[in-house]
Structure 1
């Protein structure tokens, strides 16, 4: 078995460095090929790749929420119940639970670049079909398939960032990468509100498909392969071809020695679920992010309805309140990024230059404290129909806290699983998408029964019990759990 959780790779109990002789036929980044190592690329090239992925994620995430203001209109035209119309929005998120389980491992076998381009096209095709749906069955099916393609961003995001950025740059790179996609989640309902008032709801899908087509064309020349094993494998193939010498190989070739292609593929495809089932670090991160993600989409799915029914605003004006959610997430990402790097580098220096993934954990605590505070403010301000700005401040504070905690936890997992970041991200995304799909379905019933005050207070009490103890648990037991974790190969 191969160990790679931030430590030296081990094959059948023997370190790879010990089992592989130091010969000129081993193709690695330490044999004069440092210049092709993504972590040693010029900063401009790193930011270019990061930006392409970020911009691509904007449209995929925007489409997940753009339907929110149009749900009642779509329900009336396609003869759907209220629950069915909400499901038409949520089924997209259900697909993002299953897509990364396939897409993440495939990117670790065939590379990030072909997977990104293939899923871009897949998403475009099915998003166009959504605009031509004439019954609820067609809309639900097309939304699910579009979400499957869109889900690649959740698997590739952490993988690419782990490929090109070093741990001491994790915060800043995550903050800037998340900037544009976070806009998508909030811009979606705003744009959707104006589209549904000005024209048919079908332009929600047609307009985003046009944008997706432009992004596909733009991403082709500017996104480079970042997956280190894929880069080295292609380099070894090139050397074998131009020299005629078949002895060139990589460390990955040793790990797959004597294994069939189907065995390697099945091993890769099973990796996300193995991580989720047998790796406590992934389990903790998955549960924390799933809870936060569920709350986020619960708020996103009901925010416009709150202002329409209780504040009697128009659909388009109610959508503008999503700006508060957007601001909370963006400010959280941009503050957390540099601060995370500062804390990480400071703790590394204090540890004599030895870094640990746990050095990202301290910033989880303020996020865990701010999240329930935001829920209390948002819930009781809405319950008592206070000035709308108070409700928006509560929502912004809620998203600010969740963003800080989530970003720190994501950095921790990236550094804990440097060789299989996409699979680890896919494992956590599975639970996140399931709660994002499920929470909005019970939101109307919860708010009808408890009101916004006690409904959000219930969520806040759950947040206190779940998120506040988590940073202390990871700080104390994280190193032991990582050391005892089974191989992720």
Structure 2
């Protein structure tokens, strides 16, 4: 069909719209200007044949020409109909994807490392400042609170204007906070700078999840999420060991000098190499990113290419440049028209499916924080261990979490593929298909549910073994089991959260961080006091029983989740349609930039 009287929009810019709402009809895309002259001649002959007769059986039968623009310009645009499900989800190669995810994972490593590294030094800090263990745990609480609140404001910016600008702001804040923590000598300064440290490290875990969603399809997401989790899990694994060694043999302030140096070592390669992946900025990776979102390597290569191509003016090059300029300008205009909503991560929690997942996910995190926060004080009280020995107790727990990160992704992908074969869902490498009608909730939660129950049982067992003051080897072994099952359960539900909110990975991750941080902050602040009042056995039994009481939520999600997801997609489609109509009216009225 031909489009009369309406300016043709550069199709490249439509890719991000399709990625954001894949349930909309297929969009027209401009044919690449690099095709051979023979193909262009065939297409033009097809257009001439269409003017003479209403039907033709040529190889260019799918070509649609704008005849009106063809009268004014002999090099008229040629449009083709393309099914968005047939396009590659990402143009980044497998090697590029792995490199990008490794960089994001290493950056995410800093957030949990900062949280856990000075836990073995809490007894020394309490003695140096003359405060109680509860007050020292307050520095842990404020750090977690900042990690929950700040991503709620950062996520909307990251989803609309890219991932790189967030890194460029957060890393300098984090480095400065660590230098201040290394130099301070007062408890009040310690609390304030821990807040600033939490702000600087807050967005890194959120961005790593969003980067995976930018490049990886739902069918492959489990494995790559596992890669991303390794960085966030290595923090709790290595942090207490490093902190124990430093606080045992040197001044505990050197912990923060180590963090500052490590952050600088991570930030420099990221600044030079990490490309922009946000689909609203670069689509599937083929769109040129704005200058503010380009890595230093991309800026250098772009300048070199412009220098080499200076003075070479050919028709095909000119057409290609026009395509790039038009697409880029259109994309920038779309971005400028977007409004930032810092409360988006709050509004998303009013969706019932999302709320149930967030609540279950966050309670699992609270149980994990309760265990890790109480280890120094309880093992010191029961087994009289020093800082170095305390750090070694974290190794089995961390080893369990690492093995979980390496194996859970494969298990999640296996169950997804099993359901895909059962329901006839297409499985194509690097192709993201619509999940409407596919029971993705069941595919994910069948893995998470039994793991959650095992984790709750191990938590009860750990509490009573500690209460009875049995040999230290027994609780250490239970910590390994708890670390594996707990992390596997809440990371699987985290993958499901990204699956049911395509195009909003950073916002969803920020909402998850907000609720998890609230639960984690409450747990870290209250667990020692609860143990003193109730005893360690009853404290962890109470937590485990509440956790088990949440398990029916998984049944509700598996039964009602697909219907809730379909209703949410319909509401979102209506909202996007209204927004598109408003934008069109503004364009025709001349109140905004024309396409």
**TM-score, normalised to structure 1's length?**
0.88
1:405 aligns with 2:477: no
1:47 aligns with 2:98: yes
For residues 421-468 of structure 1, give each alpha carbon's deviation from its aligned partner in whole angstroms, at most 9, with x where no partner exists: 1101101110101111111111112111222211111111111101x2
**Bigger Rg over Cα:** 2
1:73 aligns with 2:156: no
Cross-structure match for 1:472: 555
Cross-structure match for 1:292: 364
Cross-structure match for 2:288: 235
Q: Work out which of the residue numbers 331, 342, 345 in structure 2 matches 1:272.
A: 345
SS of corresponding position for 1:39: coil
1:430 aligns with 2:514: yes
Do the aligned residues in 2 keep the contact of 1:290 with 1:432 (CA within 8 Å)?
yes
SS of corresponding position for 1:167: coil
Cross-structure match for 1:111: 162
Q: Which has the higher mean CA deviation after the structures are superposed, 148-157 or 43-52?
A: 148-157
Task: Summarize the Cα distance change of 1:30–1:389 in structure 2 as closer, same or farther, 3 Å threshold.
Answer: farther
1:365 aligns with 2:449: yes
Q: Work out which of the residue numbers 391, 407, 422 in structure 2 matches 1:319.
A: 391
2:545 and 2:567 mapped to 1: Cα distance? 32
Cross-structure match for 2:197: 146
1:371 and 1:411 mapped to 2: Cα distance? 19
2:485 and 2:19 mapped to 1: Cα distance? 28
1:5 and 1:324 mapped to 2: Cα distance? 45
Task: Summarize the Cα distance change of 1:243–1:89 in structure 2 as closer, same or farther, 3 Å threshold.
Answer: same
Deviation at 1:31, TM superposition (A): 11
**TM-score, normalised to structure 2's length?**
0.73
1:447 and 1:353 mapped to 2: Cα distance? 50
Deviation at 1:241, TM superposition (A): 11
Q: Work out which of the residue numbers 384, 389, 402 in structure 2 matches 1:330.
A: 402
SS of corresponding position for 2:535: helix
Deviation at 1:479, TM superposition (A): 0.8
Larger helix proportion of the pair: 1
Flag the structure with more relative contact order, 1 or 2, with Cα contacts below 8 A and sequence separation at least 6: 1
Do the aligned residues in 1 keep the contact of 2:159 with 2:505 (CA within 8 Å)?
no
Task: Summarize the Cα distance change of 1:318–1:240 in structure 2 as closer, same or farther, 3 Å threshold.
Answer: farther
After TM superposition, the structure 1 = structure 2 runs for residues 188-199 of structure 1, keeping only pairs within 5 Å, are 188-199=239-250
1:121 aligns with 2:172: yes
Deviation at 1:168, TM superposition (A): 1.2
2:189 and 2:82 mapped to 1: Cα distance? 53
SS of corresponding position for 2:214: helix
1:60 and 1:414 mapped to 2: Cα distance? 20
Cross-structure match for 1:349: 421
SS of corresponding position for 2:470: coil
Do the aligned residues in 2 keep the contact of 1:79 with 1:136 (CA within 8 Å)?
no
1:28 and 1:405 mapped to 2: Cα distance? 45
Task: Summarize the Cα distance change of 1:7–1:194 in structure 2 as closer, same or farther, 3 Å threshold.
Answer: closer
**Where in structure 1 are there 5+ consecutive unaligned residues?**
none
1:215 and 1:27 mapped to 2: Cα distance? 45
Q: Work out which of the residue numbers 120, 139, 142 in structure 2 matches 1:91.
A: 142
For residues 328-370 of structure 1, give each alpha carbon's deviation from its aligned partner in whole angstroms, at most 9, with x where no partner exists: 2112222211111111011101101255332222111121211
Cross-structure match for 2:589: none
1:240 and 1:325 mapped to 2: Cα distance? 59
Cross-structure match for 2:590: none
SS of corresponding position for 2:219: helix
Do the aligned residues in 2 keep the contact of 1:282 with 1:427 (CA within 8 Å)?
no
1:204 and 1:28 mapped to 2: Cα distance? 59
Q: Work out which of the residue numbers 516, 529, 533 in structure 2 matches 1:449.
A: 533
TM-align CA RMSD: 3.1
1:481 and 1:255 mapped to 2: Cα distance? 30
Cross-structure match for 1:340: 412
1:295 and 1:6 mapped to 2: Cα distance? 36
1:287 and 1:44 mapped to 2: Cα distance? 36
Deviation at 1:211, TM superposition (A): 0.9
Cross-structure match for 2:546: 462
Q: Which has the higher mean CA deviation after the structures are superposed, 216-225 or 226-235?
A: 226-235
Do the aligned residues in 2 keep the contact of 1:367 with 1:403 (CA within 8 Å)?
no
2:111 and 2:535 mapped to 1: Cα distance? 32
Q: Work out which of the residue numbers 165, 170, 185 in structure 2 matches 1:134.
A: 185
SS of corresponding position for 2:193: helix
Do the aligned residues in 1 keep the contact of 2:103 with 2:270 (CA within 8 Å)?
yes
Do the aligned residues in 2 keep the contact of 1:48 with 1:222 (CA within 8 Å)?
no
1:175 and 1:157 mapped to 2: Cα distance? 11
1:482 and 1:184 mapped to 2: Cα distance? 34
2:192 and 2:559 mapped to 1: Cα distance? 45
Deviation at 1:131, TM superposition (A): 1.3
Deviation at 1:9, TM superposition (A): 5.4
Cross-structure match for 2:208: 157
Deviation at 1:220, TM superposition (A): 2.1
SS of corresponding position for 1:430: helix
For residues 190-244 of structure 1, give each alpha carbon's deviation from its aligned partner in whole angstroms, at most 9, with x where no partner exists: 2111111111111111111111111111222332211111114963979999429
1:430 and 1:182 mapped to 2: Cα distance? 19
Cross-structure match for 2:374: 302
Deviation at 1:101, TM superposition (A): 0.6
Q: Which has the higher mean CA deviation after the structures are superposed, 402-411 or 237-246?
A: 237-246
1:26 and 1:72 mapped to 2: Cα distance? 71
